[in-house]
Amino acid sequence: MKLLSPLLLAIMHFILLSCKAQKTYIKLVDVKFESIFGSTKGNSDQYCLLGSGFFRAPRADNTDSLITDWIKKHSDAYLIPISSIKDKAKLTYCWVIDNNDTLNNFLIKNGCFPGGTMMRPSKGIAEIYINDKDYATFIEQIKNSETYAKKRKLGIWIKDDPFD
């Protein structure tokens, strides 16, 4: 598994660089995050680190401090929009990337949320900005991170069933 992780990171980095070249991305320094939600000055649109379950999913007590610390350490990071839902304002699920490191994966690997929160809404509900192949690769990485957190009983995985 130790050899697989660097390989997955290298693949993810390649995918994310191709996404960066093809899609609009936002510099992290231009976004102010409060917990899992972010916004840019003068814009009512919101960014979210989770694709689903933002209000219902279990979350670890240290989630907000881990987000703040990660952002402080990754000032060159950027957001890649993954999908958007529009109501009164647009809510965009995004990945926050800095080279081989992603804030989204970091949160799952530390047991902040279950991996299912990184699932994007379905195509009928949301506008999708990333292709299915890249998305599937990311979800595989999320599954591995959730397994890592469960085995080490991190965050929400301290209990065997965080949904109790």
User: What does DSSP assign to residue 38?
Assistant: E
Q: What is the mean pLDDT of residues 130-155?
A: 96
Average pLDDT over residues 120-146: 93
Q: How many helices (H) and strands (E) does the chain have?
A: 4, 8
Average pLDDT rounded to a whole number, residues 129-143: 95
Comparing 13-17, 104-108, 159-163, which segment has the lowest mean pLDDT? 13-17
Q: Is 154 left (phi over 0), alpha (psi -120 to 50) or beta?
A: beta
| 32-42 tens-digit pLDDT | 999 999 999 88
> Domain 4-146 maps to which CATH number in 3.90.930, 1.10.1200, 1.10.150, 2.40.50?
2.40.50
Mean pLDDT (the chain) is: 87
Distance CA 54, CA 75 (A): 25
